[in-house]
Structure formats: C-alpha cells, structure tokens
Amino acid sequence: MAVSEVLVDTLTGYVKNLRTDILHDVGDSINVGIDIGQVEGGFIQGLGWCTTEEIKWDAKGNLLNHSPDTYKIPSVQDIPEDFRVQLLQNAPNPNAIRKSKAVAEPPLMLAFSSWLAIKDAISAVGNHEYEPHFSLPATNEVILLSIEDIRKKQNIS
C-alpha cells in the first residue's frame, strides 16, 4: 500500500513529491534493512517510470533519447521530502524459505500512488468535474496539456 502527496505547479508542470507512506508485505523479513532499501529503491525506480522516463522516437524509428542527457531518470530531487516505509508485521508466507515474500520488483508498482496524486491535482483544476486525459509518464508536458484540456472544458483562464 502506498499513499502520496504531491504539489503540482499548474504554470510549469513541475511536481514536488511532498510525502509518501508505504506499507509493504514481505512476509517474515530476513533482513529488515535490505528489505526496506529494496522497497525504497523499487518505489523510486517506479517513480521514474511514472513521471519522467519518456521514450521518444523520430519518424524513421530512431531512438531520440538514448543517454542520461536526453532521458531523465530519477534523482535525489525526486525522492519524497517525507518518505516513510514500513514492513507489514505478522503476515508470514508459510510456503517460502523462512516465511518470506517477494520484495524486489513489486514496490515499483507503488509509484502509481504519486502518478494518481498528480492526476487528482490536475482534476482539482476543474473542481474534479472532468477526468483528466493523462498518460504515463506524467512529464511536465503531459501535465500541462492535461491542465490546458481541463481549463478549456471549464473555460478557466
């Protein structure tokens, strides 16, 4: 489970991840420090997938963003200001080694909490009367186009 709070600048499309709370089920943790690190890392990787990692191709099918200067991966600035990760207690998996559960890739999906928080913030521009046209990743451009679409529907300047 993950819940995120974001701040969206409606003039630039900039997003600041203010807070994320995560409760992740790893069964009986074999190493709490490693498991929490895996959850944090998976979440940040997912945050990149959901917000910045846009793949662009030209008309001939050539990849345009093939390196860190043209493909934005998450940085320390993308980590939530208030980042709280806990492991669910008393939920062992009786069918696995030491009653553990998967922890590596599943936390990636928890980043949808930030993507959905951004979507909700965009919807708030029009008092939640319209569902935003919104895609992955939620780049600044996607956010601004979604806000523009909501404003056109509401005749908001």
The pLDDT tens digits for 75-114 are 999 999 999 999 999 988 888 888 888 787 889 999 999 9
Q: Where are the domains of the chain?
A: 2-154
Between CA 61 and CA 67, with CA 65 as vertex, the angle to 5 degrees is 135
35-39, 100-104, 117-121: range with lowest mean pLDDT: 100-104
What six digits make up the tokens of 111?
A: 């980043």
Fold of 2-154: Aldehyde Oxidoreductase; domain 4 (3.30.365)
Residues with a catalytic annotation lie at 105
Region 50-76 average pLDDT? 89
Between CA 118 and CA 126, with CA 8 as vertex, the angle to 5 degrees is 75
